[in-house]
Amino acid sequence: MSQPSHHDPLVDPITEGAQARARGRPKDACPYPAASPARIAWLEGYDGVPTGRARDLPIADA
């Protein structure tokens, strides 16, 4: 039996992921199926980093 989806179809998955993190939801709260493009986008929003790209390093004072 599958879990009901709690995402808003009018909000893109990247925004949903970012909002989930801002609300303190765990990363495993993603409502999209594994390996789906929507899940990848949701996780990009949650992490604040596009998939396949390393996080930006802090700017060093010169």
pLDDT tens by residue, 28-41: 999 999 999 999 99
Q: How far is CA 1 from the centre of its chain?
A: 24
Q: CA 36 to CA 53: how far, in whole Å?
A: 18
Distance CA 47, CA 62 (A): 28
End-to-end CA distance of the chain: 57
What is the arithmetic mean of pLDDT over 24-31? 96
Angle at 44 between CA 43 and CA 47, to 5 degrees: 80
- Model's pTM, two decimal places? 0.69
Number of residues that make up the chain: 62
